[in-house]
Amino acid sequence: MRNITLKNGIEMPLLGFGVLQIKNQEKCEQYVKEAVEIGYRMFDTAAAYGNERAVGNALKKVIEDGIVRRDELFVITKLWIKDAGETAAEIAFEESRKKLQLDYIDLYLVHQPYNDYYGAWRALEKLYQKGKIRAIGVSNFSAERLTDLCLNSRIRPMVNQIEMHPFYHQDQAIRTMRELGVQPQAWAPLCEGMKNIFSNKVLEKIGKRYGKSAAQTALRWNLDRQVSIVTKSTRLDHMREDFDIWDFSLSQSDRKLMDQLDLGYSEILDYGNPNIAKLFIQKKICREIEKDV
Ligand SMILES: NC(=O)c1ccc[n+]([C@@H]2O[C@H](COP(=O)([O-])OP(=O)(O)OC[C@H]3O[C@@H](n4cnc5c(N)ncnc54)[C@H](OP(=O)(O)O)[C@@H]3O)[C@@H](O)[C@H]2O)c1
């Protein structure tokens, strides 16, 4: 596992394991435990995923069994839209922390740029200063919303977790984050398995040069741009494959070849579409909650 240093000096693993849409508590515990055994140290959940307790149970067990120490783990969770606002965010944080059964959270993110996220941010700043959170950040913040928050808050977000994969590079968003000292982190680094990513000809061709699969090539490409990633799998062989990306690096010419895959927009979620905001806020879509893997 390799780490990256956040603006506040905290070390964050470059690769993490996410548990989106894994609502079955027993399965979630099992996958997290298996991921720890493979070597994953960063875990990404959210209040909206409905599985913080299962993640907490699994982590408690691996710590008790001596497989890993708490200080070797990096646990991320997120504040949902309905809990924005200063007081509500403090309460929601405490609920998440208790479900995760941890004394502190490594990274707490404002999940969506909706509702009173300035109030939420003030709560996060307070919790950070009290030592209950080691790093604070946001998710799904566009370059302009992120800039506004950075320039109008006492403590800047240390991370912005957004969609980034070979079909959506987000170069401008990354440039803005770098200028602001915010670490980019990718969700759906495998494009949620869409667009036949695992048999994509360009990824396969590049991967072949290093003896790696299309999935490994896609993941490594983000790491090579110093973008932290959280990926998900419910299969042991895939979890192992996704973790086996430390012994190669894409050449400059291969990185150039990746440019042809960039669509420049998302086919998963268009945050520029006001209907998406409406649906999120009205809870008509909360993909995190709906699906059960
Ligand atoms: N902040 C946000 O708003 C937000 C939004 C979305 C996601 N996230 C986070 O990011 C994490 C990852 O994103 P994601 O789960 O949406 O998508 P993803 O990691 O891009 O893709 C997951 C899909 O890829 C498959 N897969 C994984 N490794 C594979 C391999 N080596 N070969 C073939 N198939 C493979 C998985 O199927 P199998 O189970 O069959 O392996 C699964 O269907 C989430 O779990 C969550 O923690 C955050």
14-66 confidence digits (pLDDT tens): 999 999 999 899 999 999 999 999 999 999 999 999 999 999 999 999 999 99
CA angle 177, 266, 19 (to 5 degrees): 80
Using CA positions, which residue lies closest to atom 21 of ligand 1? 192
Q: What percent of the chain has pLDDT over 70?
A: 96
Question: Ligand 1: which atom is nearest the Cα of residue 22?
Answer: 45
Q: What is the pLDDT of residue 289?
A: 46
CA 293 – ligand 1 centroid, Å: 11
Q: What percent of the chain has pLDDT over 90?
A: 92
Kindly tell me if the per-residue pLDDT of 286 is higher than 80.
Answer: no
Cα separations in angstroms, 100 against 56, 65, 78: 4, 17, 12
Q: Half-sphere exposure of 273 toward its Cβ, with a 13 Å CA cutoff? A: 10
Sequence-distant contacts of 90-96: CB under 8 A, at least 24 apart: 90/123, 90/126, 90/127, 92/47, 93/123, 93/124, 93/127, 93/132, 93/133, 95/47, 96/47, 96/52
Q: 187-228, pLDDT tens digit by residue?
A: 999 999 999 999 999 999 999 999 999 999 999 999 999 999
Catalytic residue selected from 31, 40, 49, 128: 49
Average pLDDT, the chain: 95
Question: Ligand 1: which atom is nearest the Cα of residue 139?
Answer: 1
Structural element, H or E, at residue 162: strand 159-163
Kindly tell me if the per-residue pLDDT of 285 is higher than 80.
Answer: no
CA 254 – ligand 1 centroid, Å: 24
C-alpha gyration radius of the chain: 18
Residue 283 DSSP symbol? T
Residue among 199, 159, 192, 154 nearest 177 (CA)? 159
Using CA positions, which residue lies closest to atom 8 of ligand 1? 187
The answer to whether 140 and 164 have CB atoms below 8 angstroms apart is: no
Q: 228-258, pLDDT tens digit by residue?
A: 999 999 999 999 999 999 999 999 999 999 9
- Helix boundaries (H) for the chain: 25-38, 52-64, 86-100, 117-129, 143-151, 171-180, 201-210, 214-224, 236-243, 252-258, 274-281, 287-290
Structural element, H or E, at residue 159: strand 159-163
Q: From the CB of residue 25, how many other CB atoms can be counted at a distance below 10 Å?
A: 15
CA 290 – ligand 1 centroid, Å: 15
The alpha carbon dihedral of 123, 125, 131, 134 has a sign of positive
Q: What is the pLDDT of residue 281?
A: 86
- Whether 49 is a known active-site residue: answer yes
Tokens encoding 6 = 């956040």
Average pLDDT value for residue range 166-179: 98
Ligand 1 neighbours (beta carbon < 6 A): 18-20, 44, 139-140, 161, 187-193, 198, 215, 230-235, 238, 241-242
Q: b/e string for 177-198 if b means 16 or more Cβ within 10 A?
A: beebebbbbbbbbbbbeeeebe
User: Which domains, from first to last, does the chain contain?
Assistant: 3-290 (3.20.20.100)
Question: Ligand 1: which atom is nearest the Cα of residue 112?
Answer: 3
Q: At what angle do helices 25-38 and 236-243 cross, to 10 degrees?
A: 40
CA 129 – ligand 1 centroid, Å: 32
- Reduced 3-state DSSP string for 127-150: HHHCCCEEEEEEECCCHHHHHHHH
Residues in Cβ contact with 38 at an 8 Å cutoff, skipping those fewer than 6 apart? 236, 239, 240, 243
Q: What is the pLDDT of residue 279?
A: 85
Using CA positions, which residue lies closest to atom 9 of ligand 1? 187
Residues in Cβ contact with 90 at an 8 Å cutoff, skipping those fewer than 6 apart? 123, 126, 127
Higher-scoring residue by pLDDT: 291, 66:
66
Q: What is the pLDDT of residue 290?
A: 45
